Amino acid sequence: MQITTNIYYGDSKDQLKLLSDNSIDLIVTSPPYADQRKNTYGGIHPDKYVNWFLPISEQLLRVLKPTGTFILNIKEKVVNGERSIYVMELIIEMRKQGWLWTEEFIWHKKNCYPGKWPNRFRDAWERLLQFNKEKKFKMYQEEVMVPMGNWANSRLKNLSATDKTRAASKAGSGFGKNISNWTNRNKAYPTNVLHLATECNNKNHSAAFPEGLPEWFIKLFTKESDTVLDPFMGSGTTLVVANRMKRNSIGIDVVSEYCEAARKQLNLAELSFFEKKVEYEKSEPEGPIAIGLPRGLQINFQRQIEI
């Protein structure tokens, strides 16, 4: 099996044009939030955010396979005491662009910032919006099943007569359940809430994903040898995890230091996880010149490995 890892340095709006149509199985990314982190890697005004993002999401729609999934980690901030609505506007505009908004997961940040505000509490969650091109997409639910824990030992050991038949909901919802279906099982399907601590130890980036976040979606939506894309790669967490899970990956970032840090980190991942290094190269690809960007600014790191 051959696994390829690619890093493109530059603006995603341009770099994505180098990728082929319908070539990506999963996009997992966290773009810069409106006006946040101005001092590290720039911010976009909330009023301009949708117009800034749409040319990028248009490219993402082109490169994603019809069976693929796009997970967008984003959260609107508070401006003058009110939540911005640019994320909602973005969802509406992306639907017009051709995306289906299929699900919203919540990332519950187990270690959110401490603090006190007069009119709100600590912000402990972020959105993980799921978009697809088609209603039928690849999803491997068994890969993310969770242990049932004590429930399996306590509740399922003492089944009543009602538990053994399909009982209608007492609340009159029209739904029903047969508890005995769960005997002899020790795993259940998870909810759409992910409980993960934020990453505090990544010295290369101020907003790095915890590895568990891309890992969960890579398990849920891809198989080995599939291709994962992070168009706002930062320190390269998505690529490192994809690499470890034997998925091809592509990362793009507009800050050269982040590209370099990700490249270094991937070298380490390679040494620790793969048996044989076939090729490593640092090159200036022909592609960026074709779309009119100055040669000196482009770096493409590529590696192919046999595993």
Angle made by CA atoms 10, 36, 38, in degrees to the nearest 5: 60
Among 234, 247, 249, 259, binds ligand SAM (CB under 6 A): 234
Closest approach of ligand SAM to the CB of residue 36, in Å: 9
Size of the site for ligand SAM (CB under 6 A): 19
Burial classification of residue 297, based on how many CB atoms lie within 10 Å of its CB (0-12 exposed, 13-18 middle, 19 or more buried): exposed
How far apart are alpha carbons 30 and 50 in whole angstroms? 15
What one-character-per-residue DSSP string does 180-192 give?
A: GGGTT--EE---S
Closest approach of ligand SAM to the CB of residue 73, in Å: 7
Q: Assess 298 for contact with ligand SAM (CB under 6 A).
A: no
Decide if 121 contacts 210 (C-beta within 8 A): no
- Side-chain half-sphere exposure of 3, counting CA atoms within 13 A: 26
Site residues for ligand SAM, 242-261, by CB under 6 A, read 252-255, 258
Among 209, 217, 221, 301, binds ligand SAM (CB under 6 A): 209
Among 11, 93, 123, 260, binds ligand SAM (CB under 6 A): 11
Contacts of 238 (CB under 8 A, 6+ apart): 28, 29, 209, 214, 228, 230, 249, 251
Q: Assess 300 for contact with ligand SAM (CB under 6 A).
A: no
Q: Assess 227 for contact with ligand SAM (CB under 6 A).
A: no
Decide if 233 contacts 253 (C-beta within 8 A): yes
Q: Assess 232 for contact with ligand SAM (CB under 6 A).
A: yes
Contacts of 193 (CB under 8 A, 6+ apart): 105, 106, 108
Residue with tokens 């051709």: 98
Stretch that binds ligand SAM, among 24-32, 83-91, 114-122, 161-169 (CB under 6 A): 24-32
Q: Toward ligand SAM, which CB reaches closer, 31 or 68?
A: 31
Site residues for ligand SAM, 90-149, by CB under 6 A, read none
Stretch that binds ligand SAM, among 27-35, 102-110, 114-122, 263-271 (CB under 6 A): 27-35
Among 109, 205, 247, 303, binds ligand SAM (CB under 6 A): 205
Contacts of 291 (CB under 8 A, 6+ apart): 14, 17, 18
Among 235, 248, 298, 300, binds ligand SAM (CB under 6 A): 235
Angle between helices 256-273 and 237-244 (to 10 degrees): 20
Closest approach of ligand SAM to the CB of residue 254, in Å: 4
Q: What does the binding site for ligand SAM look like in residue numbers (CB under 6 A)? A: 11-12, 30-32, 41, 205, 207-209, 232, 234-235, 237, 252-255, 258
